[in-house]
Structure 1
Amino acid sequence: MAKLQNQLLSLKETQALIESGQLLLIAGSQGLLDQLPAGQWLGGTTPYFMSKEGAQKDLNRLFVSNLSDLALNAEIKSYSAQELEQLLADRPENGFSYIALPAFSEVHKAYALEIGQYDTLYDQPILGWITGRELEADPSHLPAAYYGPKAEKMKNRAVLMHVELPESQYAEIEIYNPYEEGKGDDIQFLSTDFQATEALINGEKQNFAHYCKAKGIDGSLPLISDYSGALINTTIQRVEEDTVYFYAPVSVDQVYHLAQAVDYSPQAFRKEMPNSPAITACNCIVNYLNFKLDGEQLGNYEGPFTFGEVGYMLLNQTLVLLHIQNY
Structure 2
Amino acid sequence: MNIYEKLTRFVKQVFKTTVEIFLEALKLSPNAQGYVSGSITELLLKKKLEEEYGFEIKRIREKWEGRKHLRHHGDFYFRKPDSSYWYVVESKGVKSNSEKWHKLYNFDNLKNFLITHSDKIPWIDNTLNVEEQVTNWIYTNLPKFRDEYLSNFYEYEEVQKYKSKRETEKARDIAALRDYTRNQINDMIEERLNYVMSKIKVLETHFVSGRSGISERTQATPRKDEFNVIAINIVLRYPEHKFLFANPKNLESSGDDPNHLQQNYIMGFIFTGEQGNPTLTITDDWYEDLKDVYDTLDAEDSVDEDDMQIDNRHIVLDEGEQNEK
Task: Give the TM-score normalised by structure 1.
Answer: 0.25
Look at both structures and tell me which one has the larger radius of gyration over its CA atoms.
2
Q: Which has the higher helix share?
A: 2
Q: TM-score scaled by structure 2?
A: 0.25
